[in-house]
Chain A
Amino acid sequence: MTEKASPAALGRFGEPATLVLLSLVSGPKHGYAIMLNVEEEMGFKLGPGTLYGAIAKLIKLGMIRAIKTKDRAKPYQITDSGREAVSEYLRTWSPIIALGKKRLA
């Protein structure tokens, strides 16, 4: 059975992986830059193990890829399938968030 590039395939890495994908939507970044970006712009602190667990899973699923470079830290880039997955994730959650806001208002 092959793993499909869908948010469901991310399993329990769903949340951190989505944060990584969202961070990479604005451009390629290396691990530390992703960590800082998620912390500063999204308000989530990703542990180093969680971050690299999510990166490894995303590479395996073909949602991101490493850019070859001479630097020690490889920048990662989101792929089309990653963009698709993050869009689907947001499409799924947007109506739920909207409903929640409406009910709590």
Chain B
Amino acid sequence: MKWSKLYPTDWQREFGQEFDDLLAQRPMSMRDRWDVVVHAFEARLSRLTTAWPTLLAWTVVATLNVFAKEDQWAAGGLVLLCCLLTTLTPRDWWKSAILLFSAIPISSLYFYQLPHIHHEPLYKTAVALIPPRLSDQFSGC
């Protein structure tokens, strides 16, 4: 059995071969097996922890976009969560930002046809992100 298969793909690419070679060098005790399983699980979990905040933030923005009566809430939530994700995942901040911005059009498309849900056109949310003086000019359009 290739124990490295228990680990995430990127980990396997970096250490997989030598890890399996190391394990083949001597018989594995029950303690060794447990140690590998626990650390493989932990490595997989550590990959998830960077994805979870983004997924959670996406859900929050989408929910705000659909259910909040004022578009500013969705816009504010979007900006705030973008900042938070940038702090949490500094290396992948741009991926998180793109994903978060997708929450508004996707949630709008999905819920647009539900009559009981208040929904403002997407451009108003975009206007809410612009400073007040400028946004007055745009909202008059």
Interface on A for B, CB 8 Å cutoff? Answer: 1-2, 30-32, 35, 47-50, 52-53, 55-56, 72-74
Q: With A1-B90, A56-B11, A56-B15 given, is the CB distance from A49 to B37 under 8 Å?
A: yes
Q: Which of B21-29, B97-105, B107-115 contacts A (4 or more CB under 8 A)?
A: B21-29
Q: Which of B38-46, B61-69, B126-134 is the contact stretch? A: B38-46
**Contacts A31-B22, A48-B22, A56-B14 supplied; 17 other A-B pairs, CB < 8 Å:** A2-B90, A30-B18, A31-B15, A31-B18, A35-B22, A47-B31, A47-B35, A48-B32, A48-B35, A48-B36, A49-B32, A49-B35, A49-B39, A49-B40, A72-B17, A73-B21, A73-B22
A1/B87 contact (C-beta < 8 A), A52-B19, A56-B15 known: yes
Q: What are 6 A-B contacts with C-beta separation under 8 Å?
A: A1-B90, A31-B15, A47-B36, A48-B23, A53-B43, A56-B11
Q: Residue-by-residue, is B56-90 near A (CB-CB < 8 Å gives 1, otherwise 0)?
A: 00000000000000000000000000000001001
Interface SS of chain B: helix
CB distance from A44 to the nearest CB of B (A): 13
Chain A contact surface mostly: helix
The verdict on A74 contacting B19 (CB below 8 Å), with A47-B32, A49-B40 known, is no
Report how far A47 CA is from B38 CA in the complex, Å.
Answer: 11
In the docked arrangement, what's the CA distance between A73 and B19, Å?
8
Contacts of B19 in A (CB 8 A): 31, 48, 52
| Least CB separation from B38: chain A residue | A49
**Distance (whole angstroms) from the CB of B99 to the closest CB of chain A:** 21
Residue A32 contacts which of B3, B11, B25 (CB distance < 8 angstroms)? B25
- CB closest chain-A residue, reference B6: A49
For residue B90, which residues in chain A have a CB less than 8 angstroms away from its CB? 1-2
Which among A2, A31, A47 has the greatest number of chain B C-beta atoms within 10 A? Answer: A47
A-B complex: 5 closest residue pairs judged by Cβ atoms: A47-B35, A49-B39, A49-B35, A49-B36, A73-B18
